[in-house]
Amino acid sequence: MTYHWDFYTVMQSFDLMLWGVWITFVYTLGSILIGIVVGAASCYARLSRFWWLRLISRSYQELFRCTPLLVQILWAYYALPMLLGISISNTTAGLLTLSLYVGSFYAEIFRGGILAVDKGQREASAAIGMSSVQSMRYIIMPQAIKNMLPAFINQSVIQLKNTSLLYAISIAELTYMTSVVTSESYRPLEAYSLAAVLYFAMLFPLTQIADHFERRMRRSD
Amino acid sequence: MTTTSAVISVRGLGKSFGKLEVLKGIDLDLMPGEVLGVIGPSGSGKSTLIRCLNMMEVPTAGEVRFQGRPVTPKFRGRGGAIGTGELRRKVGMVFQHFNLFPHLTVLGNITAGPTKVLGESRAEAEAHAMDLLGQVGLADKAKAYPAHLSGGQKQRVAIARSLAMRPEVLLLDEVTSALDPELVGEVLAVIRRLADTGMTMVLVTHEMGFAADVASRVLFMEGGRIAEEGSAEQILRNPTSERLRSFLSRFHS
Ligand SMILES: Nc1ncnc2c1ncn2[C@@H]1O[C@H](COP(=O)(O)OP(=O)(O)OP(=O)(O)O)[C@@H](O)[C@H]1O
Ligand SMILES: [Mg+2]
């Protein structure tokens, strides 16, 4: 039996899919930005000389890295409001969970990047009179960022794909919108194929741009 | 006493790593324009001593003074004491493994300190850097990254990076021992010229011939103490003690 592809019906709802792309993009970017801040703080705490800061940071990281993201999202939306006795919108629950989740991975990526910088670099920058803040800013971080970039990009690509789990709490990102289009058009094959193409179209240019930057940073090698 | 005119003076300096006592009561005065050679067997505490002079290692006993002011291990000094920030601007250090900043060009390496620490303008810092690169014979490498330089070239850049801070003292810890033998000469030549210009230096080295040639005074360290001290002539050419003679005999081929 041959399947008769019919993109016409699906294309009539293309604006809905594009809206899904936009929402996917917003949640990805928002959670990455918050995740960077959270990850940096957690990384800083892990490198602190206070054991209790290290412990808190470590616990946070393990909690988010060792439980499934879908469970975290559902927990934040359904369980957390019961626990706290407040209502939490799906937007808040979704963005918060995604951010904390990616932050826990970023933290370890950042830490690995910093620790991979030779300790002679810190000594050499101290030896010309730099303060530890200056040394971090001008000498350690530029090298650490270069070290961590591939893993950071990889995690961010995964993050965009992870937004599809927001489907479970009815956030209008691309996967959710695709399900809406499917139920209206009865064309799941076309709709989900189109969704895959749209995800690809979002990520592929990003990975290309990332490669370009990585190559530029490797000029000094 | 002569301590008042010493650039760096050290009294009763001790340093322990846990239970391991590495320096045991070092007294030392470094005079302006002096080139002090430090020799001694491996593990005798030469690196630890020189690293205490710019507070890379924090002494566990005794004191270090810079131009008469006590040195503190804090970045900012208080009440007449000199902090590590100011101290390291004035006391440069060159490392065995160069430790150039790999993400910066040669020019970037040399201007980082002057622009970020001394607050010099970029133009001013670059002009000075080009002048220094000329002095170490690497003017054509200004735009190169460290990864593209030979060991000898890297070390000459590292020396220029230290000199860019216009230090009053330069500490050099076995700066040629990571180099292929054929590249040692070009680095020693640079140090030789520095000595001729009157730069005050402390030079930890295994190059006995060079120490004899360039050092005005030599310390022989053993077991965390200064075992012998004297002019290069005295220490290196006419050693009296048996220990020093046997140490030196290992370097005469
Ligand atoms: N950070 C440290 N922690 C513990 N022990 C150390 C540390 N730095 C140096 N030591 C020990 O102190 C002793 C003296 O070391 P130092 O590096 O000063 O010797 P050195 O005379 O420079 O030797 P070499 O000629 O091999 O460079 C050695 O036993 C060394 O293992
Ligand atoms: Mg040493």
- pLDDT 10s digits, A166-189: 999 999 999 999 999 999 888 889
Asked if residue A218 has pLDDT above 80, the reply is: no
Name every chain A residue with its beta carbon within 8 A of the beta carbon of B118.
129
The pLDDT, as a whole number, for residue B203 is 96
Rounded Cα gap, residues A155 and B227, in angstroms = 58
pLDDT at A1: 64
Residues A30-72 pLDDT 10s: 999 999 999 999 999 999 999 999 999 999 999 999 999 999 9
Among chain A residues, CA nearest to B117: A130
* DSSP strand pairing (B8-17 vs B169-173): unpaired
| Pocket test residue of B48, B174, B226 for ligand 1, highest count of atoms within 8 A of CB | B48
- Its ipTM equals 0.92
Beta strands B61-66; B69-70: pairing state? antiparallel
- Predicted pLDDT at B1: 46
pLDDT of the residue at A219: 74
Interface of A with B (CB under 8 A): 118, 120-121, 123-132, 134, 138-139, 142-143, 146, 219-221
- In this structure, which residue's CA is closest to atom 12 in ligand 1? B22
CA distance A219 to chain B (A): 8
pLDDT in tens, A133-147: 999 999 999 999 989
For A85, what's the count of Cα atoms within 13 Å in the CB-facing half-sphere?
A: 0
Report pLDDT for B253: 47
Mean pLDDT for chain A? 93
Strand partners, B229: B219
List the beta bridge partners of residue B228. B220
pLDDT score of B238: 84
Identify the pLDDT of residue B252. Answer: 63
The answer, yes or no, to whether any atom of ligand 1 lies below 6 A from the CB of B43, is yes
Q: Which residue of A has its CA nearest to B51?
A: A127
Distances B34 to A106, A189, B244 between C-alpha atoms, Å: 51, 84, 22
For a pLDDT cut of 90, what percent of chain A falls above it? 78
d(CA A81, CA A88): 6
pLDDT at B170: 97
Kindly give, in sequence order, each residue whose CB lies less than 8 Å from that of residue A53, ignoring residues fewer than 6 positions away: A45
Within 13 A of B2's CA, how many CA atoms are on the CB side? 11
Looking at residue A213, its pLDDT comes to 81
* CA angle A57–A63–A69, rounded 5-degree value: 125
| Stretches in chain B below the pLDDT threshold 70 | 1-4, 252-253
Tokens of A8: 């016409």
Distance CA A17, CA A119 (A): 50
- Collapse the DSSP code of B86 into the 3-class scheme (helix H, G, I; strand E, B; otherwise coil) and give the result: helix
Cβ-based contacts of A118 with chain B (< 8 Å): 99
Which tokens is B14 given?
């001790």
Nearest-CA residue for atom 30 of ligand 1:
B43
CB contact under 8 A, B103 and A131: no
C-alpha A172/C-alpha B198 separation (Å) is 74
> What pLDDT, on the 0 to 100 scale, is given for residue A68?
96
Tell me the C-alpha distance between B152 and B136, whole Å.
11
Q: Is the pLDDT of residue A129 over 60?
A: yes
For residue B19, the Cα-to-chain-centroid distance in whole angstroms is 27
Rounded to the nearest angstrom, the minimum Cα separation between A50 and chain B is: 20
Instruction: Give B97's contacts (C-beta < 8 A, 6+ positions apart).
Output: A120, B178
Query: Cβ of B97 and A120 within 8 Å?
Result: yes
Give the C-alpha separation, A110 to B143, whole Å: 29
User: Cβ(B198) to ligand 1 under 6 A?
Assistant: no
Question: B86 CB near a chain A CB, below 8 Å?
Answer: yes
pLDDT of A207 higher than 50? yes
Q: Could you count the other beta carbons within 10 Å of the beta carbon of residue B227?
A: 17
